[in-house]
Structure 1
Amino acid sequence: MTRVTVITGGAGGMGQATAKVVGRDHAVVLADVRQDRLDDAIVACKAAGIEATAVDCDVTDRDAVDALLETAAGLGTITAVIHTAGVSPSMGDAPYVVTTNAIGTVHVNEAFLGAGAEGSAIVNVASMAAHMLPDELIPTAKFPLALQDLDAFTAELLAACEIVPEEARSGIAYAVSKSFVKWYSSSQAERFTAKGIRIVSVSPGSIETEMGLLEADAGAGAMVADAAVPRWGKPEEMAELLAFCAGDKAGYLTGTDILNDGGVIASIRERARLGSG
């Protein structure tokens, strides 16, 4: 039996690094929205001894996601989806960030819920930003709309971003959308377990990828120097964690988020405690 792992955002630094880990014993399908970047990723994987299949897929398009999983199923049994596709605040406005990060997550996860084999797993990439936004700014009560009315859900998330001026809304949209990814990966665990599927999210800190470095001069980049581990994370470090979460050795792991941020959040919280004393 051929075991297949699908990696969305597969042309990105984290996606490629993960492909080189899971590709050791799985067939790999790399999905991304840009064919030119996918072509380069396939070449890079081949150079590392990994054979991968490329699929041009926009995760904000449910039909495209369904077609992606259909292609993957044609190669064997889909045992894991590692959903790294997403955008940072520097890559677009608030609607673009919310649609890509939140709606994309809904499409990929709901499609996999219907297509995944028993014993399979999906790992969603959230963010340390999901651990930073105060609870009162996260529209958690509106998150269930994602399973009922995507238009209303999108409108509520964008409304939550209106607490700041328009030029700052993409940053809030990022934190809110990644908070949703974290919430979904926990709140929907029983639904997935009923199908024999595990669901987990991982929250990276500042990772040294092309997308991550776009935020080098923003808040996320500035936090690196003050982290418990004062450096950027490496894509390979994230890849090993993502691959573990998706693999058989993590068979008891579901419905939770793993923060892998070099200690940024721990440092922030401890300094806040000391500062209030």
Structure 2
Amino acid sequence: MSTPSTTAVQVVIGAGSIGQAIARRTGAGKHLLLADFSETNLQDARTALEDAGHTVTTQRVDVSDAASVRALAQAAAGLGDVVQVISTAGVSPVQAPAEAVLAVDLYGTAVVLEEFGKVIAPGGASVHISSMAGHMPAPLDPETAHALAFTPVEELLALPALAPDAVPNSGAAYAIAKQANHLRVQAAAVTWGDRGARVNCLSPGIILTPLARDEMSGPGAEGYREMIEVSAAGRVGTADEVATAAAFLLGPDAGFITGTDLLIDGGVIAALRAGRWQFGA
């Protein structure tokens, strides 16, 4: 007599265009637990994904609140085997002050890695959306890099490298948050590996999402146009292209890849390294 199979659960944190694109690309046959800070975004995304044939449950989450993320992880485990976790939550420099950027983009990512590292199923995989901004500044000194990678979550925001005098504005906060994402994911690969699971990072460049539109209509608009013009691709990217890269990292073909960051930026960082434009100019 056969036993019923356990439900495979995919968690998508962030119901925006990239989260929805990854869900459409990889969520078939899984129970999709969709989480977002905005109830409106959640319901709109749920309707779109259900109309596309997916089975969807929603739950509001605030990634800057550890208890909220913990409740989401427990809810996911209650639905079945958590086989995939996709985290796209974040705010951009024009959307929030430095303190909020650090709370959501840096601390929030660290909390998601910790809490879902406790419930991810053996053989499971996770992708965290970072940004090419994490590749723009000079490399961090080894001591700071180690601290950002391994400091316990609840002590993370108290690090001297994240103090207001060290992170004077939201742009600086965004850059170090994305550098920290890469470091936290690499560190988490060790503990996730103890459970037989993988975790990686994806760093998109200029992808035409509502967040990118906010940035491209803000004070840095001219800089964004220059980045596009000097890049090898010479264009913006799409959410579907990010989803294709995420599907690779989540799937069996990436079974030997964990703790790394995949830069998907159309060659913007290559142009920076070649001196075709200057970071912070």
What is the TM-score with the length of structure 1 in the denominator? Answer: 0.89
In the other structure, the counterpart of 1:207 is 207
In the other structure, the counterpart of 1:111 is 115
In the other structure, the counterpart of 1:256 is 260
SS of 2:196's partner is coil
| Deviation at residue 151 of structure 1 after TM alignment | 4.1
SS of 1:74's partner is helix
In the other structure, the counterpart of 1:162 is 165
In the other structure, the counterpart of 1:181 is 181
| Deviation at residue 23 of structure 1 after TM alignment | 1.9
Distance 1:201 1:227 in 2: 22
In the other structure, the counterpart of 1:6 is 11
TM-aligned CA distance change 1:252 to 1:179, over 3 Å:
same
Distance 1:13 1:120 in 2: 23
SS of 1:114's partner is coil
1:114-125 equivalences in 2 (<5 Å): 114-125=118-129
Q: Which runs of 4+ in 1 moved over 4 A?
A: none
Structure 1 segments unaligned to the other structure (5+ residues): none
In the other structure, the counterpart of 1:46 is 50
SS of 1:89's partner is coil
TM-aligned CA distance change 1:221 to 1:192, over 3 Å:
farther
| Deviation at residue 49 of structure 1 after TM alignment | 2.1
Distance 1:157 1:54 in 2: 36
| Deviation at residue 144 of structure 1 after TM alignment | 4.2
- Contact 1:157–1:173 at 8 Å: present in 2 too? no
1:1-277 equivalences in 2 (<5 Å): 1-9=6-14, 11-136=15-140, 139-144=144-149, 146-147=151-152, 150-151=154-155, 153-159=157-163, 162=165, 166=168, 169-217=169-217, 218=220, 219-220=223-224, 222-271=226-275
Provide Cα deviations, 1:16-65, integer angstroms capped at 9, x if missing partner: 11111122232211110010110001111122222221110111111111
Relative to its length, the structure with more helix (as a share) is 1
Distance 1:33 1:272 in 2: 38
SS of 2:94's partner is helix
Structure 2 segments unaligned to the other structure (5+ residues): 1-5
Distance 1:194 1:221 in 2: 44
SS of 1:215's partner is helix
TM-aligned CA distance change 1:128 to 1:106, over 3 Å:
same
Identity over the aligned pairs, expressed in percent? 37
Instruction: Calculate the aligned-residue CA RMSD, in Å.
Output: 2.1
TM-aligned CA distance change 1:23 to 1:222, over 3 Å:
same
Provide Cα deviations, 1:207-260, integer angstroms capped at 9, x if missing partner: 111012211142345411221111111001101211221223321110111000
- Aligned residue identity for 1:6: V
TM-aligned CA distance change 1:126 to 1:152, over 3 Å:
closer
Moved more, 77-86 or 211-220: 211-220
TM-aligned CA distance change 1:78 to 1:156, over 3 Å:
same
- Aligned residue identity for 1:209: T
Distance 1:246 1:32 in 2: 21
| Deviation at residue 272 of structure 1 after TM alignment | 5.7
